Structure 1
Amino acid sequence: MRLLLIEDDAKTANFVSHGLSEEGHVCDILNNGQDGLFHTLREQYDVVIVDRMVPDLDGLSLVKALRSAGNRTPVLFLTAVGGIDDRVEGLEAGGDDYLVKPFAFAELLARVNALSRRPPAIAERTLLQVADLSMDLIRRRVTRGGKTLDLQPRELALLEVLMRADGRVLTRTMLLDRVWGINFDPGTSVVESHISRLRAKIDKPFRTPLLHTIRNTGYALHAPR
């Protein structure tokens, strides 16, 4: 394997690098986060090992920047910051594993090997598109024909579910569950009223309707067929 170790403590870096080399791995060493980010985006590594407290760019910010750039290289945090909240923060930032110093090299090696065996992550979709209707999932921004549409949070959630269905029909019960988290019929017209408001915003100002009511079945969002 080709590994990158981002660690500013020379003693730790030499210990880890020497151990990995003895196991037959190639281990590059960098002592700051800026260089670590540059090399990870430019080079191909099987696993990146990073200390949270490296200079120039801390480990958390480095991993967040990697994930924002779409880089899915497995990352192992190796750090003395070991509280529960710290571990959660590291994993939520995009880290794949978290090992606290002091550590046993055998455990580090086992975790690195486990990360390298994971199947490649599929990049998450950040843009949904149906005909000329687009939803930017990061900015939560909807446009149609280049025009920005003003949708309320629940309308956004409803539209996202419909767009992710790729033209399949979704029943009223399915929409209640996926948008409102309701797994029973509340006896209200909440779905119908939101569909009506959504249609008024994404269809009525435009020539071609995309949101279709399937009689006695449900709703579907698709381009004209």
Structure 2
Amino acid sequence: MTDTARILIVDDDPEILSALSRGLELHGYATLTENRVDSALARFEDAEVSAAIVDVMIGEDSGFDLVRAVRTAGHRTPILMLSALSEVDDRTRGLEAGADDYVVKPFSFDELVARLKVQQRRATPMPLRPARLDTSDWSIELDQRKVMLTQREFELLSMFAKHRDETLSRAQIFDSLWADKGASSGNVVDVYVGYLRKKLDPMRSFGFEIKTIRNRGFMLAGLAPVIGQADD
């Protein structure tokens, strides 16, 4: 991450606060912790919070009420609710209050981080102008963010850019970029799409997404990058 994302954790259990803080910091996040609804709500007003993890029960208060108050105040920060309650009605209450996702204890920490990243990507605003794929150094750049690509990653992304909003099959991509290079498996396409998604995460910050079209292939949706050199 170029800027460290700050995650607010709201729970009245000090052991859970400590464990979540340590785990998230190991994944490169900064954390803020609160154990009361009123102080947590103030954090949304005063601090730049990238996302929040809110427990359903916060002392005698309700995490549902906190989420509802956050949304009423107009904050669109991604919120994951965390609870030992697994009944459908409880999950429904959380989502109806305005939570973006609901994670049931006990949970896999890797799953929690993955769900957090999904919500952050969804919350990343699309820019109003396209990124540039620079042919001089195989990079993609927009505003203050620049990412270096390998030649094959650059060629793959360029192919998607030239066919924006078109579904490209794995066979089409493989035949164009790998068939004459000695590659023997179409799985290489999935591998390199994975490389791009990881390297450009969050991809929406460059104005586009590479979507998987089930049983068909991949499609670049959004603003297609402009291909050329920086001084063109």
Give the TM-score normalised by structure 1: 0.52
Task: Report the AA paired with residue 109 of structure 1.
Answer: V
Aligned residue for 1:72? Answer: 76
Aligned residue for 1:35? Answer: 39
Task: Report the AA paired with residue 23 of structure 2.
Answer: G
Distance 1:58 1:38 in 2: 16
Structure 1: runs of 5 or more not aligned: 122-225
Distance 2:27 2:124 in 1: 23
Structure 2: runs of 5 or more not aligned: 126-232
Query: Residue 51 of structure 1 contacts residue 59 of structure 1 at CA under 8 Å; is this kept in 2?
Result: yes
Aligned residue for 1:54? Answer: 58
Q: Which of 1 and 2 has higher RCO (CA within 8 Å, sep 6+)?
A: 2
Query: Residue 90 of structure 1 contacts residue 98 of structure 1 at CA under 8 Å; is this kept in 2?
Result: yes
Task: Report the AA paired with residue 26 of structure 1.
Answer: A
Distance 1:36 1:30 in 2: 6
Match of 1:85 among 80, 84, 89: 89
Task: Report the AA paired with residue 60 of structure 1.
Answer: F
Pairing 1:112–2:112 present? no
Aligned length: 121
Aligned residue for 2:102? Answer: 98
Does the C-alpha gap of structure 1 residues 40 and 57 become closer, same or farther in structure 2, counting only changes over 3 Å?
Answer: farther
Distance 1:72 1:120 in 2: 11
- State the shift of 1:57 in Å: 3.7
Distance 2:25 2:123 in 1: 24
Task: Report the AA paired with residue 47 of structure 2.
Answer: E
Match of 1:5 among 9, 12, 23: 9
Runs of 4+ displaced beyond 6 Å: none
Query: Residue 82 of structure 1 contacts residue 100 of structure 1 at CA under 8 Å; is this kept in 2?
Result: yes
Query: Residue 37 of structure 2 contacts residue 61 of structure 2 at CA under 8 Å; is this kept in 1?
Result: yes
Task: Report the AA paired with residue 71 of structure 2.
Answer: R
Aligned residue for 1:191? Answer: none
- State the shift of 1:120 in Å: 5.1
Query: Residue 49 of structure 1 contacts residue 77 of structure 1 at CA under 8 Å; is this kept in 2?
Result: yes
Distance 2:26 2:123 in 1: 25
Task: Report the AA paired with residue 39 of structure 1.
Answer: R
Percent identity, aligned pairs only, is 40
Once the two structures are superposed, residues 176-212 of structure 1 have per-residue CA deviations (whole angstroms, 9 ceiling, x without a partner) of xxxxxxxxxxxxxxxxxxxxxxxxxxxxxxxxxxxxx
Give the TM-score normalised by structure 2: 0.50
Distance 2:103 2:75 in 1: 21
Query: Residue 78 of structure 2 contacts residue 123 of structure 2 at CA under 8 Å; is this kept in 1?
Result: no
Query: Residue 76 of structure 1 contacts residue 112 of structure 1 at CA under 8 Å; is this kept in 2?
Result: yes
Aligned-residue CA RMSD (Å):
1.4
Pairing 1:26–2:30 present? yes
- State the shift of 1:119 in Å: 3.2
Distance 1:83 1:36 in 2: 26
